[in-house]
Chain A
Amino acid sequence: DTEVTQTPKHLVMGMTNKKSLKCEQHMGHRAMYWYKQKAKKPPELMFVYSYEKLSINESVPSRFSPECPNSSLLNLHLHALQPEDSALYLCASSLWQGVHNEQFFGPGTRLTVL
């Protein structure tokens, strides 16, 4: 199994809603990432988990809350989002957070905040 899966594929939410994005990989990777991507731009790093511990938070607003329940799963909890948070949210994983860090991406969740 060499893929990263993400659910849902599409999500529409209001500014008062609470929702969660889910990511799963079964490659034995110990580093997992959340990225945000706006149209026609490269991905922007949000969070990094290494061995199930949060290692990097790129000054992301607290309305985004990551969680890593185990080495295969990564969640992103969303609450009180703003319309400007609408974007493609990508999950990625790599063997570890170190040298030769080939990151493999999931298909993304297209989020629309109304």
Chain B
Amino acid sequence: GQQLNQSPQSMFIQEGEDVSMNCTSSSIFNTWLWYKQDPGEGPVLLIALYKAGELTSNGRLTAQFGITRKDSFLNISASIPSDVGIYFCAALDSNYQLIWGAGTKLIIKP
């Protein structure tokens, strides 16, 4: 079936660092979404992307819809402690259901 390959699996970051993560697929998608999930909570929608090549920001977060429509990237600038959590990419398939990446876990270095 369709899969999204999300990397990295986890990241150790220091406060103030910039963070990058990405999702790739062998299939073309027309909508890419990025969610963040805190422990014991539901995923929160961060950014939605609808057009190939589109670059969208939400505060310190910036996401891009790849020009090939097979990938997407999320960048977080100047990370802060509350950025820790699991970030999921998701894409809308032809049945309008979400296909999910495995998640990127963001951890703050002590």
Contact = CB atoms under 8 A, between A and B. Distances in A.
Given A43-B100, A45-B97, A100 B50 contact: yes
Contacts, number: 55
Interface residues of A, number: 25
A101 B96 contact: yes
Contacts of A104: 45
Main secondary structure of the interface of A (DSSP, over half): loop
A112 to B, nearest CB: 13
A81 interface: no
B101 interface: yes
A97 interface: yes
Contact of B44 (A43, A101, A105): A105
Given A48-B97, A100-B31, A100-B50, A42 B102 contact: yes
B96 A99 contact: yes
A56 to B, nearest CB: 7
- Pick from B50, B96, B100 the residue with the most CB of A within 10 Å: B96
Given A42-B103, A107-B42, A108-B42, A98 B96 contact: yes
A70 to B, nearest CB: 22
A90 interface: yes
Contact of B45 (A41, A45, A98, A102): A102
A42 B42 contact: no
13 contacts: A4-B42, A42-B88, A43-B43, A43-B100, A48-B97, A99-B92, A101-B31, A101-B96, A102-B45, A103-B98, A104-B45, A107-B42, A108-B42
Interface of B: 30-31, 33, 35, 40-45, 48, 50, 88, 90, 92, 95-98, 100-103
